[in-house]
Structure 1
Amino acid sequence: MDFIDDRIERYAFNYTEDEGPLLTQLKQETHEKLELPVMLTGRLEGRLLKLLVQLLQAKRVLEIGTFSGYSALSMAEGLPDDGELFTCDIDPPAIEMAKKYFHRSEHGKKITLLEGEALKSIEKVEAPLDMVFIDADKANYLNYYEAVLPKVRSGGLIVVDNVLWSGRVLDPQDESDHAIHNFNRSVHADDRVEGVLLTVRDGVFCLRKK
């Protein structure tokens, strides 16, 4: 994600609320033990997700793509004590780390981790949902979007990560490049939602269901 000026990124990081010691430790262990640690949400986006949960006064959230659990814990922090967060992943090492940190967190009791193929896991989660965060395999972004949209309440939010794809959406070359670009075009033209594409980290699309 070297398409964003490092000085500006650091400035924004420094003026964003700290994530606390547990998430800091999770971030460090993710970089030490898991492949592709760049997939970790991190402070800027994690605090944004928490804030969106709070602003929505959300009680039921679905996440597609748990990775090591940073984003799930960030959103769970914004939920009330009786809130629920369902998160799904298919990668055993990432799931193992996420479970460990869910157990250590006071907010872990709000989280249900669904293991296996995401589209099948989505079927298990009942409507209505207040918010959905999509951050998984890019080729399936439109499939995930179409699967969750009927479950999201009117006024609810779908948040989609990596929609700038390190700037490669400007000149798509490979399958993932085209998948992200096609996703952005499709949801922009979808009159069931209204959206804004934010230049936070690798791009965050916020889509409000009408």
Structure 2
Amino acid sequence: MENKEVKVARNEMMDRPVVQKEVVEFLRNKQKPLRGKLGEIEREANEKRVPIIPHETVVFLNLLLGQIKPDKILEIGAAIGFSSSLMAQHVGENGHVTTIDRFDVMIEKAKKNYQLLGLTDKVTLLEGQAADILPTLTGEYDFIFMDSAKSKYYDFLPECIRLLKIGGMLVVDDVLQGGTILLPDEEIPKRTRAIHRKLTIFLDIVMNHPSLESSIVPLGDGLLMIVKKEKIEPSSLHAL
């Protein structure tokens, strides 16, 4: 089989840490590394600049999921399968991870990684647009991890909350956009202004909704943690 190289567009936010550079280096280099084949996948991805979750987020998720002990996990944005493989370590004997991606090259690489790690029975990769797939899923999921196109976070939110059990947690990656989320519209480049606006609306909704408990952790490019406290009407998750 032809060996395809994973090619990704340059992500400028990877080089715009939201905390001091020295602190980021400490978090990435001084915390316990992953062992075995998953650690090798992480190191190779970092060397090739493949956008996976940074090591400080890896360590945090390992600790968090070790305490939550979820049975059913949903991920939006599989990429090369690294984060879903990491999460699959925490679902227990009868648990399962479902992940979604639409890019052929990423899907091929993710499948190879699942085979390499012996996770083909633990992870189901759904191929296609998340907008088409999410409405077909039935819950309830204990934990949802969203790491997809930032402009889609607002669009995917009602389906994620529908699928999340009461007391479950939705974690959303890269919500601070290298700190640019703080800037007014006129200081945002026109090519990314629409993304900025939708992400701002998304944050306003989840951080102020009475049925959601939310917190932003400054790891990587910002990790938003959301707990669903009670049943929620989908219409309440749309901007007025």
Q: TM-score, normalised by structure 1?
A: 0.91
Give CA deviations for 1:86-144 in whole Å, capped at 9, x if unaligned: 00000111111111011111344210000001022223332111010011011110121
In structure 1, the partner of 2:66 is: 54
Q: 1:26 aligns with which of 34, 38, 41?
A: 41
Letter in 2 for 1:10: E
- CA separation in 2, counterparts of 1:83 and 1:110? 7
8 A Cα contact 2:211 2:228, kept in partner: yes
Q: 1:78 aligns with which of 90, 95, 107?
A: 90
In structure 2, the partner of 1:69 is: 81
In structure 2, the partner of 1:106 is: 118
In structure 1, the partner of 2:164 is: 152
Give CA deviations for 1:56-98 in whole Å, capped at 9, x if unaligned: 2200000000111111111111110211100000011111111
- CA separation in 1, counterparts of 2:215 and 2:120? 30
User: Which secondary structure does the structure 1 equivalent of 2:80 belong to?
Assistant: coil
Consecutive aligned runs of 4 or more in structure 1 exceeding 4 Å deviation: none
Structure 1 pair 53–123 and aligned structure 2 pair: CA distance change class (3 A)? farther
Q: Which moved more, 1:196-205 or 1:106-115?
A: 106-115
- Deviation at 1:31? 5.2
- CA separation in 2, counterparts of 1:3 and 1:152? 29
In structure 1, the partner of 2:232 is: none
Q: Which moved more, 1:171-180 or 1:60-69?
A: 171-180
Q: 1:182 aligns with which of 175, 198, 201?
A: 201
Structure 1 residue ranges without an equivalent (≥5): none
In structure 2, the partner of 1:44 is: 56
In structure 1, the partner of 2:173 is: 161
Give CA deviations for 1:143-177 in whole Å, capped at 9, x if unaligned: 21111101211110000001111111011421222
8 A Cα contact 1:156 1:209, kept in partner: yes
- CA separation in 1, counterparts of 2:130 and 2:227? 22
8 A Cα contact 1:133 1:158, kept in partner: yes
Q: How high is the sequence identity, in percent, across the aligned residues?
A: 25
8 A Cα contact 1:51 1:78, kept in partner: no
Q: TM-score, normalised by structure 2?
A: 0.80
In structure 2, the partner of 1:16 is: 31
Letter in 1 for 2:149: D
User: Which secondary structure does the structure 2 equivalent of 1:109 belong to?
Assistant: coil
Q: Which moved more, 1:154-163 or 1:19-28?
A: 19-28
Larger Rg belongs to: 2
Paired residues, number: 207
Structure 2 residue ranges without an equivalent (≥5): 1-15, 230-240
Structure 1 pair 109–155 and aligned structure 2 pair: CA distance change class (3 A)? same
Q: 2:212 aligns with which of 167, 190, 193?
A: 193
